[in-house]
Amino acid sequence: GYFHHMMRQCRYSSKDLQGIELITSYVFNKAEYVRFNSTVGKFVGYTEHGVKNAEAWNKGPELAQELGELERFCKHNAANHY
């Protein structure tokens, strides 16, 4: 069988909510193929398939949606982290 998963993590470097970094990784069969990093501000592909996905997602609504996750997911849960 095949194994696919997505992992989203927030990294907090200060309590003022300005130093939050969102990282979303997409993994297929234990190999990460695409990553979104809010510091970089775009998707980056690590395999041939991942590069194609990253190019398409950076041009489409996926990029805006992922940038919105920084507000919705990370900043909303910051109090739980601290």
DSSP state string for 8-62: EEEEE--TTSSSEEEEEEEEETTEEEEEEETTTTEEEESSHHHHHHHHHHHHSHH
Give the pLDDT confidence score for residue 58 in this predicted structure: 97
Question: What's the total number of domains in the chain?
Answer: 1
Q: Which residues of the chain have pLDDT under 70?
A: 15-17, 81-82
Give the pLDDT confidence score for residue 82 in this predicted structure: 65
Domain range holding 39?
Answer: 4-79
Q: Can you give the CATH number for the domain in which 46 is found?
A: 3.10.320.10
Give the pLDDT confidence score for residue 29 in this predicted structure: 93
